[in-house]
A = this chain, B = another copy of it.
């Protein structure tokens, strides 16, 4: 897939045709950059006025506390974007963005995105509307994550996450994008305790799994 095709799948450019995207990209003056696995794209404390769109690979939004505990806020796959909210404010970032694998990122200046360009490019209005929709969606996603974290027990956190993942992939059998440590970081629990709980859940017939492949057996909730 070339850049324009990827961008067509991106929420920010939803509803724009190929040639319109090309035209827009001129106005937006984006830049692309490659990152090796584990390389930081944005570090905690940084500020930026660019949002990023993943053209290749995938990135993790992470935090580290004083004691080095890592927490994985979310993963962004190809076509997804990050730092939109950060770029809209003047604050320093409280999270870092790390390439989870070899990745290519397109950076767009936020002001160019949300301000109509001098040339009066007619697709710009769509872009702003998409921006509102994108932020709204990100908002609901974060609410979803809060929903998982709200659960008091490791089992309920796992069920909450696995259910949402099952729903997202529209199948009872699905593959998660995290290894065990990352999943634990995402759900903010301890890895080995989580493994133990997964075993118990499998013994209870709630779920079957093998590495990253899961099948949910219980009713939705």
Contacts and interface: CB of A to CB of B under 8 A. Distances in A.
A135 interface: yes
A128 to B, nearest CB: 6
A166 interface: no
A146 interface: yes
Given A69-B152, A147-B63, A85 B136 contact: yes
A144 to B, nearest CB: 7
Contacts of A142: 139, 142-143, 146
A73 B146 contact: yes
A132 B88 contact: yes
Interface string A63-107: 101100101010000000000111011010011000000000000
Main secondary structure of the interface of A (DSSP, over half): helix
A201 interface: no
Nearest to A149: B149
A137 interface: yes
Q: Which of A95, A137, A139, A190 gathers most chain B CB within 10 Å?
A: A139
Given A69-B152, A152-B188, A188-B152, A135 B146 contact: no
Contacts of A136: 84-86, 88-89, 135
Given A69-B152, A73-B146, A128-B132, 11 more contacts: A63-B147, A65-B150, A65-B156, A85-B135, A85-B137, A85-B139, A88-B132, A114-B129, A114-B132, A132-B132, A139-B142
